Homo-oligomer: A and B are copies of this chain.
Amino acid sequence: MSMNIEELGEFGLIERLKLIVTEKVTHNSQTTHDATLLLGIGDDAAVWSLGNEIELFTTDTMVENVHFSTENSTWQDIGWKALAVNISDIAAMGGVPKYAAITLGLPPSTQVESMIDLYKGIQECGLRYNTTIIGGDMVSSQTTFITIGLTGITSGPFLCRAAARTGDRIAVTGNLGSSSAGLRLINENLQLNLRDSKTLRQAHLRPQPRLQEGQTLLNLGVKTAMDVSDGLIADLAKLCLASAKCATVWSNALPIASEVWRTFPSESIDLALSGGEDYELLFTAPQEIIDKVIKQLSIKVSIIGEILEGIPGKVTVVDKDNNHMNLNSEGWDHFQLWKPNIL
């Protein structure tokens, strides 16, 4: 009878909880406000209209020794990343971030200097991406955690996961696998080429949300996007499931940094397919729109596959000879496992 959430999996649990909260709420009829939910549970951010504006909201949490470790990150890096991953969600909707609320769960023995450094990192990221810290909450907790709630706005339309169409090309900004390669360098304390090592560590510790790029996608007519946080295959499967489509990814088209090839030559493809935390934008659109995107953006954009009719959520990877590749469990089963969003 009884089952724990590890057995059921994150995805199964979310589905069950969703059923409970989708019971209709009749909003207070005594007010004349016009707030309407446009997109609820299941995308990078929730979306509602408020008066003439469209607002976005997302929240992400980092737990010590699950999502970060102070043994290999500075508190300033942790602060940057805690806000950056939320801004990435707003970027994936084509929005502009506005206000962030910070919740800290802290053991009483936490050093004051550590929290000042954490806030410096948060503020550094806020200044870089025009986001204002508006307050939050501070609670005592045996486990250290940082939760950020972030609002954003859009000029009207927004990117979502559920709009992919058959024949769309699948594209991605920047490179894949660099962050997880950086995490491996950090965890295994590998001594390698110094410049490569620094680049990969930075990719993991200081992700750069694709904020301008998300807005450009929206302006050029792209409708479908999400950010790559759990790994390309796992995230593309979610996008396909939301759109009721399947997808083929061409392994030889994957954008992989030369630093990754040099550092992990035999595992580069695996890192790009399953490595997570790249915070690049994964998007789909007809070829002619993607051509415009490639022309307009100053960063690299790679076409890596196509959207097809088929089993919803199914992602197939083929090599240059069109042979199916076997995916390791990090791909297909990823979001049926209860685990942190890191390798």
Contact = CB atoms under 8 A, between A and B. Distances in A.
Contacts of A323: none
A6 B59 contact: no
Contacts of A106: 5
A135 to B, nearest CB: 4
Interface stretch (A119-127, A178-186, A241-249, A284-292): A119-127
A108 B53 contact: no
Contacts of A17: 115-116, 119
Interface stretch (A18-26, A157-165, A258-266): A18-26
A99 interface: yes
A192 interface: no
Mostly, the A contact residues are mixed
Interface in A106-151: 106, 108-113, 115-116, 119-120, 122-123, 126-127, 130-143, 145, 147, 149, 151
A140 B132 CA distance: 28
A52 to B, nearest CB: 5
A16 B57 contact: no
A269 to B, nearest CB: 27
Interface string A1-22: 0111111101001101100110
Interface of A: 2-8, 10, 13-14, 16-17, 20-21, 23, 25-28, 31-33, 35, 37, 40-43, 46, 48, 50-53, 55, 57-63, 66-67, 96, 98-99, 101, 103, 105-106, 108-113, 115-116, 119-120, 122-123, 126-127, 130-143, 145, 147, 149, 151, 153, 155, 338-340
